[in-house]
Each structure stands twice: as structure tokens, then as C-alpha cells.
């Protein structure tokens, strides 16, 4: 795809996101006292936004293992992070009632970040570990009380190459605090769709594979490193060679 075509598609994607956020914002303002309702509304709009953005990007997304996704079974959805477009595949494909976790810088993304804040999703300051930990602790309590899901990117930062990075401990802490199972959401090929620090889109075939839930019952604080490896193992066995750790 030429640079001019890419810029046109990026502009169209921003326009689609802006229109949908504009339609959603009055609803969120009316529902401001009810955080759960706001989250569910953004989940519904997120499905439309995610579909629209991926269509604008020119990439074809196929989904496998959808039987492991259920709105009625609260879970933590863990996705590898290879592209800015992960933000749109996750809000599209995770179930209604999903709370998202994002770095605080997302607040400044046009349209998307402001909608994220208004919806009641979670920002964490990765440079202030104590503050981030307290935010996740409050989120865990909220999830338990309301029977909601969580979507988290366990690597904590985007992989420039698409290769799997080490997992941070935050996902294990959330699993311990909530007792929820973890559903791996393995994304393949999305790293090719929009290279970091580039304005050129490359229409790609993207696969999103949901794997069976991993039970976290019986997990303990003194085995965090072991639990991290348990969570990484399904990614390592599913990702193609070009996305294996360097």
C-alpha cells in the first residue's frame, strides 16, 4: 500500500473512531454515576470501533477458539502486544463486561483515550509502581464485586518485532486478587499491519486464537515466577517462529 493510501486509510480510521465516540459520549455522560453500565456501553461501541478500524487498516482478521469466550464466565483475557492495533482487536473481540487496563499515555490518544477515561476503564502509571499496584488492587475488588472480565497485555509494553516479550508480574497479581481464570488471546500477524513509528499500513492476514482458560485456583504469592511461565507456555506453543522470543 502506498504512503498516500495509508494516510487516507489512517484518516478514515480516525474519522470512524471519532464519529462513534461522538455518538457514544452523550450516553456515557448520562450514565456517569453507573460505572458498570458505562463499561458495557463502551464494550458494545468497541465492537463497532474495532471492526471499523481493522477494515480501514485493510487487514483480514480470523478468530479461532471463540468457544473459550463467554460473557457469562468472568475471566482475565491476556493478549500479546505487537501493534497499536491491538487496542482495537481487544475491544472488538473480548466479551461484554470487560474492563481494560492501559498505560496512562493512552489518555492522550485522539478520541480513543478520552472515551477510555469516560467509560471507567483503568489507567496505570508504569513509572510509579506503587500507584500502579494500588490501581490494580482497586480494579480487582471492582471485578470481584461486579462479576466482570479483565483484558490485560501481560508484556506491559509493545514488542517492536512482534516477538513475545517477558511477562510482567501484574497479571499474576490480578489473578491472585480475583481468582479468575486466564484466557490466552494469541495474536498472530498483526505486527505486520502497521509498523511502529511508521505511517504506512500493510494489509495483513491476522489470526486471533483464544485458548482454553487456565485455572488460577491454588496459586500463591510465593510462586509468581512459576505462574508467569504457566501463562507464557500457551503463547510459546502457539506463536509462529517469527514471533517466538529472540
pLDDT in tens, 48-66: 999 999 999 999 999 999 9
Within 8 A by CB and 6+ apart from 233, the residues are: none
pLDDT on residue 38: 95
Whether the per-residue pLDDT at 6 is higher than 80: the answer is yes
pLDDT band at 132 (very low <50, low <70, confident <90, very high): confident
Give the separation between CA 104 and CA 129, rounded to whole angstroms.
Answer: 13
- The grid cell for 56 is 480501514
Pairing of strands 205-210, 182-188: antiparallel
The residue-averaged pLDDT of 15-41 equals 92
Please answer whether residues 35 and 120 qualify as being in contact, where contact means their C-beta atoms are separated by less than 8 angstroms.
yes
Give the separation between CA 32 and CA 189, rounded to whole angstroms.
Answer: 37
Indicate yes or no: pTM above 0.75. yes
Residue 51 CB burial class (10 angstroms; 0-12, 13-18, ≥19): middle
Tens-digit pLDDT profile for residues 87-107: 899 999 999 999 998 878 888
Helix axes 170-178, 129-146, angle to 10 degrees: 30
Closest CA to 66 of 94, 85, 105: 94
Superfamily of domain 3-237 in CATH is Glycerol-3-phosphate (1)-acyltransferase (3.40.1130.10)
For the chain, give every domain's residue range.
3-237
Amino acid at each position: 500500500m502506498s504512503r498516500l493510501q495509508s494516510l487516507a486509510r489512517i484518516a478514515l480510521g480516525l474519522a470512524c473512531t471519532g464519529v462513534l465516540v461522538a455518538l457514544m459520549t452523550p450516553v456515557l455522560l448520562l450514565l456517569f454515576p453507573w460505572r458498570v453500565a458505562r463499561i458495557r456501553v463502551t464494550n458494545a461501541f468497541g465492537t463497532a470501533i474495532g471492526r471499523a478500524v481493522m477494515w480501514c487498516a485493510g487487514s483480514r482478521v480470523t478468530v479461532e477458539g471463540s468457544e473459550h469466550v463467554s460473557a457469562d464466565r468472568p475471566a482475565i483475557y491476556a493478549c500479546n502486544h505487537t501493534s497499536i492495533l491491538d487496542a482495537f482487536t481487544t475491544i472488538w473481540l473480548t466479551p461484554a463486561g470487560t474492563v481494560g487496563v492501559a498505560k496512562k499515555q493512552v489518555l492522550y490518544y485522539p478520541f480513543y483515550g478520552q472515551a477510555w477515561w469516560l467509560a471507567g476503564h483503568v489507567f496505570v502509571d508504569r513509572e510509579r509502581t506503587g500507584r500502579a499496584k494500588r490501581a490494580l488492587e482497586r480494579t480487582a475488588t471492582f471485578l470481584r464485586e461486579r462479576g466482570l472480565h479483565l483484558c490485560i497485555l501481560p508484556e506491559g509494553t509493545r514488542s517492536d518485532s512482534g516477538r513475545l516479550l517477558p511477562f510482567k508480574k501484574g497479571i499474576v497479581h490480578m489473578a491472585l486478587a480475583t481468582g479468575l481464570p486466564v484466557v490466552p488471546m494469541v495474536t498472530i500477524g498483526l505486527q505486520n499491519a502497521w509498523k511502529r513509528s511508521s505511517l504506512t499500513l500493510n494489509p495483513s492476514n491476522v489470526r486471533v486464537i483464544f485458548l482454553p482458560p487456565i485455572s488460577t485456583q491454588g496459586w500463591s504469592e510465593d510462586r509468581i515466577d512459576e505462574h508467569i511461565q504457566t501463562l507464557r507456555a500457551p503463547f510459546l506453543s502457539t506463536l509462529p517462529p517469527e514471533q517466538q522470543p529472540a
